[in-house]
Structure 1
Amino acid sequence: MRRNFAVSDTNVFKQKVLNWLKQFSTFCFLDSSQYQNGYDLIVGAGVSESFNSSTPDALDNFQLFINKKARWLFGHLGYELATSEKISHSYKNDQLFFPDLFFFEPEILLTLKHGEVIIEATDTEEIFNNIQQTVPPESKYEQQFQQIESKISRNEYLSILNQLKQHLQRGDCYEINFCQEFFVKNVLADPFSLFNKLCEKSPNPFSGLYRIDDKWLLCASPERFIKKEKDQIISQPIKGTLQRHQNNDPEKERVALLQSEKDRAENVMVVDLVRNDLSRICEEGSVKVDELFGIYSFPQVHQMISTVSGRLKREVKFKDIINATFPMGSMTGAPKVKVMQLIDQYEKSKRGIFSGALGYINADGDFDFNVVIRSMMYNQSTQYLSFQAGGGITIYSDAEKEWEESLLKAKAIKEILES
Structure 2
Amino acid sequence: MDFDFSPDQRELQAQARRFLADQCGRAQVRAVLDGPQSFDAALWKGLGAQGYLGAAIPEAYGGIAESDGLADGVLAQCVIAEELGRAIAPVPFASSIGLAAPLILAAGTEAQKQRWLPALASGEVIATVAWAEKPGRLDAAQVAGCAVRGGKLSGTKQPVADGDIAQLLIVAARGEADTAGNYSLWLVQAAAAGITRTTLSSVDLTRSQARITFDGASAELLGTPGQGAALLDAALDRAAVPLAFEQVGGADKALETAVAYAQERYAFGRPIATQQAIKHMLADMYVSATLARSNAYYGAWALSTQSAELPEAAATARVAATQAYQHCARNNLQTHGGMGFTWEFDCHLHYRRSQHLALALGPLSQWEDRLVNALKARRAAA
Between the two structures, name the one with larger relative contact order (CA 8 Å, sep ≥ 6): 1
Answer 1 or 2: which has greater strand percent. 1
TM-score by length of 2: 0.29
TM-score by length of 1: 0.28
